[in-house]
Amino acid sequence: MPQESALGSADFHGDFLDLLASRGHSVSFGSTVDGSKLTPTESTTVLAIRYADGVLIAGDRRATAGTSILYDRADKVLEIDEHTAMAISGSPAIAYEMARVLEYSLRYYRRSQLQELSLEGKLRTLSRLIRDNLGMALQGIGAVIPILGAFDVARDEGKIYFYDALGAQFEVADFATTGSGSVWVRGALYYLNRWERQLAQLNLHDATAVVLRMLDAAAEYDAATGGYNRRAGIFPVVKRVTRGGTETLDPSTLSAIYTEAVEVTDV
């Protein structure tokens, strides 16, 4: 008679560490010599919107480990090539490695084939990288949920894609957001796009004002999302992806728009 599976009827929900705990194994990720527990570093919140010239993609700067703030200058929006940028939520260590592999893969293709990899090829490559990371995601210590902003030169339009943990890609027409603070801004973006003014009609100034307002709202309600730090002069990272290439908006531009559109003073 076959023996009962070692898993038995353990109550777990896809997290490898919870599974071990349910079997009586006291294991914690990153346990130190003195028995203290280190939780994985995570980062949130990121979003992308289509505007008149292409795609605006942005993210706050805070990286957290549990309830601790580890770093307030994390760059969560990474330039992949001239017409592609990736915003990350989840594990920065895994996400940065994915971004490097994707960047080097595109560079190798360009040099070996003497042409750019198609947008579809870029999407498939990132899907494969996310799928290959499934083991780490199931362990609860390495999930990455990115947003990809790109400018499709052939169609002369900006494109936004988001992914799930299995690497499935989804194209969105107007905006995408992910991370723990995204729950606070998704509805606001829908409202603005549906009943105020379509995001795709906004110029760079107005589109930047929208993403700064959204990240400010996320920081107000989500402890893992960092807001504007006036004392240190820390702003979110905002990049635009257009036919002319990928460009990071400088702090002076963000400061002026923040003062005008986000910092509402009493009358």
What is the Cα–Cα distance from 183 to 203, expressed in whole angstroms? 25
What is the Cα–Cα distance from 257 to 204, expressed in whole angstroms? 11
* 242 flagged as catalytic: no
Phi first, then psi, for residue 229 (nearest 5°) are -100, 100
What is the Cα–Cα distance from 241 to 79, expressed in whole angstroms? 9
Choosing from 39, 41, 44, 248, the catalytic residue is 44
State the greatest distance between any 2 C-alpha atoms of the chain, in Å, as a whole number. Answer: 80
Catalytic residues: 44
